[in-house]
Amino acid sequence: MQQTMQDFPLRVGSILDHAARYHPDRPVSGRSVEGPIVRSTWQQVAQDARRLTGALQTLGVQKGDVIGVMAWNTTRHLSVWYGIPGAGAVNHTLNPRLFADQLVYIITHAEDRILMVDFDLLPVIEAIYDRLSGIEHIIVLTDRDHMPDSTIPDLICYENLIRDQSPDTPWVEGDEREPCGICYTSGTTGNPKGVVYTHRSNVLHAMSASTPDMLNLSSNDTIMPVVPLFHANGWSTAYTAPLVGCAMMMPGRDMAPAALYELLEMGVTMTAAVPTIWLGLLQHLKDNDLKLGTLERVIIGGASCPRAVIETFQSIYGVKVLHAWGMTEMSPLGTICSFKPEITRMSPMAQLDAQDTVGHPPYTVDLRITDETGAVLDWDGKTQGDLWAKGAAVVQRYLKQDSDALDADGWFHTGDVATIDRHGYVRITDRSKDVIKSGGEWISSIELENCAIAHPDIAEAAAIGMPHPKWDERPVLLVLPRAGTRPDRAEIMALLSERFAKWQMPDDILFVDEIPHTATGKISKLTLRERLKAMDYRLPDLA
């Protein structure tokens, strides 16, 4: 049978074209790296993106070339985000917080030919420049007045580079399955692994992520992505926002609570970041007796969101929390906790319980849990198992590896441990390498941490399993007290005992001055384990 429909290649450039054509004057504003708040529109972002496409072509960029970008969330970064794939090249997001060795590794491994860098981040590149062999040009993302002095020769000024290019430069066309962007997982063990998104995977992901039961994003929203564009595909915000034609507020480099608050109050309706950011903001609001005037929804993911954060946002500030789970390997959205009618019908307390879960997946993501033998487990909301995913924007194989990262049935092993309930709501109980295995049972480190953090004097907590000859592992809780407080050990134990059985309770509580984090803001349990090893820590009953 003949099919009669048009072939519409799912290229990311078409997303920006849509925004520029149907939402041309929608504000795209934000704090620039130079300092002032700048105002742009989707039409201007698109014009600059096309200018960049033209400029990259004059530098000899060919289809498939990789361009590394180390930049904060700015309006300029949005043009870069589209100008690179517009030239047929691949946008490799670089996290400035990575260790120097990791940066050298990923820039070399991905074969970046050009680097584009915010001027304040240039020292990060200068420090590793001698170890980068394949870089042909470095473009500094600023104007002539802000070009820094540098040890690197022949730096190119971005604004000068694009100034004389045509705002109508055509995109390089091609197949929707061509590569479009690369993001490396932060690689808590071993080298980071590269995930190469295609135009198609990004477009399909953005379409499913913006639907009502997911982000529920519309042209009436103003979204502020606090999550950096260099984390996990920028949580797709640079695609979902123009796809629906909503306004954007880009926070720039300053993520301090006061700076974020100032921007939130400029009409932002929706924002997104990891829990640590929100802990800081909520404290700032409390300390200064502030209200949130326009914010309606906040997406919290990347790490488990403490219940206290959800409750405070909702009951004190009237802001709905969307607890989300995802991974770099999933572009990144896996699930979002929006309410299906089954949940809306529940009591307020049961709804809050539901928000401890990360919710349900959109169309294009499929999930399952299995036991140690690989048998598929029931969705009873209780049985924990390894979480697997399949989908249109889920990784198939890491860059330059010679086999797929999938099992024989095409499922990707997320490395997370989860339960799924009968409504399809997923509860992430741990990363498989962090789950505490005691006497053949599993204790969720995330649940211990979230419970501990409800104590008013605890700023942050980390639970880790320490080897034990009889039980295999026993939990130890590391606690970072809030400044100026000295939380009481017995009080913390009493708090935990309200939710945990005796065998799940930590064997020890250690008070620490700092809890180390990875480059993507997660608690680094690897570092904590190393620290305990270095101090020759022993569990109380083994000391």
- Would you state the torsion angle of the CA atoms of residues 37, 42, 45, 50, taken in this order, to the nearest 10 degrees? -170
- The torsion angles phi and psi of 209, rounded to 5 degrees, stand at -70, -30
Instruction: Annotate each residue in 258-297 with x if it binds ligand ADP (CB under 6 A) or - if it does not, as one string.
Output: ----------------------------------------
Binding of residue 186 to ligand ADP (CB under 6 A): yes
The count of residues in the chain is 543
By beta-carbon proximity to ligand ADP, the closer residue of 165 and 185 is 185
Binding of residue 228 to ligand ADP (CB under 6 A): no
Least distance (Å) between residue 278 CB and ligand ADP: 12
Sign of CA dihedral 528, 539, 475, 282: negative
| Alpha-carbon distance values, 65 to 46, 91, 255 (Å) | 21, 9, 32
Task: Identify the residue among 12, 428, 448, 477 touching ligand ADP (CB under 6 A).
Answer: 428
Least distance (Å) between residue 235 CB and ligand ADP: 9
224 burial level (CB within 10 Å; 0-12, 13-18, 19+): buried
Binding of residue 232 to ligand ADP (CB under 6 A): yes
> How far out from the chain centre does Cα 398 lie?
18
Binding of residue 327 to ligand ADP (CB under 6 A): yes
Task: Identify the residue among 97, 284, 431, 529 touching ligand ADP (CB under 6 A).
Answer: 431
Task: Check: CB of residue 183 under 8 Å from CB of residue 166.
Answer: no
By beta-carbon proximity to ligand ADP, the closer residue of 86 and 228 is 228
Per annotation, catalytic residue among 41, 185, 222, 237? 185
Say how far apart CA 58 and CA 447 lie, in whole Å: 54
By beta-carbon proximity to ligand ADP, the closer residue of 222 and 520 is 520
Least distance (Å) between residue 184 CB and ligand ADP: 7
Binding of residue 416 to ligand ADP (CB under 6 A): yes
By beta-carbon proximity to ligand ADP, the closer residue of 67 and 299 is 299
By beta-carbon proximity to ligand ADP, the closer residue of 284 and 431 is 431
Q: Which long-range contacts (CB under 8 A, 24 or more apart) does 410-417 make?
A: 411/368, 412/329, 412/388, 413/386, 413/388, 414/327, 414/329, 414/330, 414/334, 414/386, 414/387, 414/388, 414/389, 416/325, 416/386, 416/387, 417/384, 417/385, 417/386, 417/387, 417/442, 417/444
533 burial level (CB within 10 Å; 0-12, 13-18, 19+): exposed
Tokens of 438: 């005691």
By beta-carbon proximity to ligand ADP, the closer residue of 57 and 102 is 102
Map the footprint of ligand ADP across residues 337-396, applying CB under 6 A: 358
Task: Check: CB of residue 495 under 8 Å from CB of residue 452.
Answer: yes
Task: Check: CB of residue 147 under 8 Å from CB of residue 155.
Answer: yes
444 burial level (CB within 10 Å; 0-12, 13-18, 19+): buried
159 burial level (CB within 10 Å; 0-12, 13-18, 19+): middle
- The torsion angles phi and psi of 197, rounded to 5 degrees, stand at -80, 145
Say how far apart CA 207 and CA 391 lie, in whole Å: 13
Map the footprint of ligand ADP across residues 519-538, applying CB under 6 A: 520, 522
Active-site residue, 185 included: yes
Task: Identify the residue among 44, 142, 328, 444 touching ligand ADP (CB under 6 A).
Answer: 328
Per annotation, catalytic residue among 178, 329, 449, 460? 329
By beta-carbon proximity to ligand ADP, the closer residue of 67 and 300 is 300
Least distance (Å) between residue 191 CB and ligand ADP: 12
Map the footprint of ligand ADP across residues 299-318, applying CB under 6 A: 301-304
Check residue 517 and report its DSSP letter: B
Say how far apart CA 403 and CA 387 lie, in whole Å: 20
Binding of residue 53 to ligand ADP (CB under 6 A): no
**Piece in contact with ligand ADP (CB under 6 A), picked from 70-78, 86-94, 110-118, 322-330:** 322-330
By beta-carbon proximity to ligand ADP, the closer residue of 193 and 455 is 193
By beta-carbon proximity to ligand ADP, the closer residue of 96 and 326 is 326
Lay out the sheet containing 222-225: strands in order across: 37-41, 27-31, 247-250, 222-225, 270-273, 297-300, 320-326, 333-336
Least distance (Å) between residue 288 CB and ligand ADP: 28
Binding of residue 415 to ligand ADP (CB under 6 A): yes
Task: Check: CB of residue 80 under 8 Å from CB of residue 104.
Answer: no
Active-site residue, 329 included: yes
Pairing of strands 137-141, 112-118: parallel
Binding of residue 414 to ligand ADP (CB under 6 A): yes
Map the footprint of ligand ADP across residues 146-185, applying CB under 6 A: 185
Least distance (Å) between residue 135 CB and ligand ADP: 24
Active-site residue, 136 included: no
Total number of residues that touch ligand ADP (CB under 6 A): 23
Least distance (Å) between residue 10 CB and ligand ADP: 23
Active-site residue, 449 included: no
Binding of residue 95 to ligand ADP (CB under 6 A): no
Interface contacts to ligand ADP, rule CB under 6 A: 185-186, 232, 301-304, 323-328, 332, 358, 414-416, 428, 431, 518, 520, 522
The residues assigned a catalytic role are 185, 329, 437, 442
